[in-house]
Amino acid sequence: MINFGGHWAHAHDNEQIMFMTHAPECLAQMALPSGERWLHEWAAYWIDHRINNGNGCTDLALQEHLDSHEKVEVFRTFLAEYRRWLKKMPETELLDIGGYPMSLERVVWFADLIEATIDGNSALRDPLGRERIVPIRH
């Protein structure tokens, strides 16, 4: 599960682990202003977290790291670059991490899911047409 603001999304561990594996690689190749050091620190969290958690316990920690509008906008820029970066990679490099094969389409779609969760866009469906984002009810 991932959550942000008033919404949460069904997110499988393999989707989150795939993101936590490839997103830091992409980020390392990007030129970000030095004031965006927090994003590199968050990426270090992803690397550590994906190694030490799993089986229902992975967490991108959007809520904790996107604590200002400025950070949300920087992260949106990163997600756009991440999608472009993924589409340039040979698909064979993406297919299997930890025994969880995924298509390039699915990996790119997960970045869409992250952004839709931030936006509260519950209209986004997964590649099989299923609803994945729902409002948090208190």
What is the per-residue pLDDT across 46-94, written as a single tens digit (0 to 9) for each? 888 777 766 655 688 899 999 999 999 999 999 999 999 998 887 766 6
Strand, helix or coil at 50?
Answer: helix
Residue 110 lies in a domain: yes
Residue with tokens 């997960």, as numbered in its chain = 110
pTM of the model: 0.86
The one-character DSSP state at 131 is: B
Please give the residue range of the domain that contains residue 43.
Answer: 9-135
Residue 8 clears pLDDT 80, i.e. is over it: yes
Residue 71 forms part of a structural domain: yes
Q: Establish if 27 belongs to a structural domain.
A: yes
Query: Which secondary structure element, helix H or strand E, spans residue 20, and what is its range?
Result: helix 13-29
Counting the structural domains of the chain, the total is 1
124, 113 Cβ separation under 8 angstroms: yes
The CB density around residue 6, as the number of other CB atoms within 10 Å, is 11
In a domain, residue 3? The reply is: no
The residues with which 119 forms a beta bridge, in sequence order, are none
Q: What is the pLDDT of residues 15-44, one digit of tens each?
A: 888 888 889 999 999 887 667 889 989 988
